A and B are shown apart, each in its own frame.
Chain A
Amino acid sequence: MFILSGLHTFGAYLRLMGRVFSRPERMRIFFKQCLKEMAQLGVGSIGIVLLISFFIGAVICIQIKLNIQSAWMPMWVSGYTTREIMLLEFSSSIMCLILAGKVGSNIASELGAMRTTQQIDALEIMGVNSASFLILPKIVGLVAMIPFLVIFSTTSGVIGAYATAYIGHIITPTDLTAGMQHDFTQWYFWMGAIKSLFFAFIIASVSSFYGYTVEGGSNEVGKASTNAVVSSSMLILFSDMFLTQLLS
C-alpha cells in the first residue's frame, strides 16, 4: 500500500514536471519572474546561510581543536578538517537541508494559498499554463542562486573558524591558516557546487509539487508545507549518498 501510494505520488510529480518544463508564453514575463524568485528565494536566504554557517564553522573548529586534536596530530588538523567539512558536506548538503525548511515551506505555502484562493484556477481559465508560469521561475531562480549561497556559506564558515582564533583564542591564526591551506583540492569546491544544483532542484520542484496539488483549506496548506520539507529533506539526504559516491 505504501509503495503504491509512493508510486502514485511520484507519477503525479512527473506529470506536473512535464507541464512545468514547457516553453514560457512570454519570455519577458518569465525573466521578470525568475529575477523575482532569485531575490525572494536566493537573496532572501543569504542572511540565514551566513549566520548558520558562521557558527557551524566556529563550532567545528572548536570541537576538533578541543575534543579530537591530540599531541600526535599536526597542529593544522583543526583548520584542515573545518575547511573540508564546510566544502564537502556542510555548505552543500546541510545548508540545503536548512534551505529545504526555509525555502521549501515558503514555496509550498505560497502555492497552496494560491490554490485555495482560486488564483491558480484563475490562471488556468485565462489560458495560462499555471504550472509552468508559477513553478519554472522558482526552479530556475533557486538553481541559479544556490552556487552563490554555497560560496557564501563556505566563506562564512571559514570566517567563523577564524573568529575562534582571533576572538576565542582556541587556536592560533597561524595553525588555522596552515590547516586551511593544507592539501587544498579545488574539485571539492566544484563537487559541493554541483551537488547543490541537484539539491536546489529537489527543494524547488518537490515543494512546488506539494503546494500546487493542495486540495482543501488552510489545514491542507499546512500539511503540504510539512510534507514539502520532509520529502525534500529525505530526497536531499538520499541523493547526497549517490552524488557523493559519483563525484568523489
Chain B
Amino acid sequence: MIEITQLTKSFEDKQVLRGITSRFDAGMTNLIIGQSGSGKTVLMKCIVGLFSPTSGDVLYDGRSFVAMDKAARTALRREMGMIFQSAALFDSMTVLENVMFPLDMFSDMAFKDRLRRARTCLDRVGLLDAERKYPGEISGGMQKRVAIARAIVLNPVYLFCDEPNSGLDPKTSLVIDKLIHSITHEYGMTTIINTHDMNSVLGIGEHILYLYNGMAEWEGNKDQVINTDNERLSDFIFASDLLKKMRAEVTKK
C-alpha cells in the first residue's frame, strides 16, 4: 500500500501539486487521471522519487520515502518496477538481456536460474520467441510488453506505469491493460497507472484519482465514474460524443 499525504511540489514559483492526499491499495489497479498539465506525471515522479516533494510525505507500507536515507531508498527501489511511456528499454541489449538486467544487477541467482526466470516473465507477456531481438526490431506494443516483463522480473511489491498505452492502437492498449491488471492480481502488487486512456479508466479502474489543477478533485472506481456528478470529471471522461452517447445509454438502462 502506498499513501501520499498533503503532497505539494513547486518549481521555482509555480506550484504544480497542491496538497494531494490519497491511498493506493495493494492488489488493485490504481489509476491517476487528469488533463494534460494537471500534475499526473509530477505526482508519479514524486511518488517514485525522481522528484523530491516540496512538502508532504509518501509512505510505502508505512515507510516514509521522504525521510529515508540514500541506502534505504536504494533498497526500496528494488521493490519497485516501472513501465515508462516510451518503454525505456536499453537499445544496446536484446529483449532477453533487457529482462535479465535487473536480475544480473541485484540477484545472486546462478546464470541458469536467471535465464529461466527471465524466460518465465517473457513467456508471461507472450514474447518468448522475440528474446533475441533488439528493441528497435519490435513494435511499440511488444516493447511495452517487454517493459512489463522487465518490471516484474524481480517480483516487485510496487508497480508504476506512466501512460502505458501511449502511442498504441486501441486493441493493443486493451492487451496491455489486461496484462497489467492480471499481473497486479497475480502478484498482489500495489499498481499505480498514470493514464489518459478512457478505455483503461472504464476497464481496469479499481481505484481512480482524478487530478485537476494539481489537486485531488475526485476519487472513486470505474462504476462510480460513470454516474459521477462532478462536472469537471464528467467533462473530462465523457469529452467525446461517442462516450457521451454510451453514458446516456448506460444511465437509461
Point out residues on A near B: beta carbons under 8 Å. 25-26, 29, 113-114, 117-119, 121-122, 124-128
Contact = CB atoms under 8 A, between A and B. Distances in A.
Interface residues of B, number: 23
B88 A118 contact: yes
B187 interface: no
A124 B88 CA distance: 12
Contacts of B89: 119
Interface of B: 48, 50, 73-78, 80, 82, 84-86, 88-91, 101-102, 104-106, 160
A191 B75 CA distance: 46
A117 B89 CA distance: 9
B161 to A, nearest CB: 12
Given A117-B86, A126-B106, A127-B106, 18 more contacts: A25-B105, A25-B106, A26-B104, A26-B105, A29-B104, A29-B105, A117-B91, A118-B84, A119-B88, A122-B90, A124-B50, A124-B77, A125-B77, A126-B80, A126-B102, A126-B105, A127-B74, A127-B80
7 contacts: A118-B84, A122-B88, A125-B160, A126-B106, A127-B75, A127-B76, A127-B77
A126 B77 contact: yes
Contacts of A118: 84-86, 88
Interface of chain A, main secondary structure: helix
Contacts of B82: 122, 125
Contact of A117 (B88, B102, B106): B88
A113 B50 CA distance: 18
Contact of B78 (A114, A121, A127): A127
A125 B50 contact: yes
Nearest to B85: A118
A117 B75 CA distance: 25
Q: Which A-B residue pairs are the 10 nearest by beta carbons? A: A127-B77, A118-B88, A122-B88, A118-B84, A125-B82, A127-B74, A127-B78, A119-B88, A117-B86, A118-B86
A113 B136 CA distance: 14
Among B88, B101, B102, the one with the most A-chain Cβ atoms within 10 Å of its Cβ is: B88
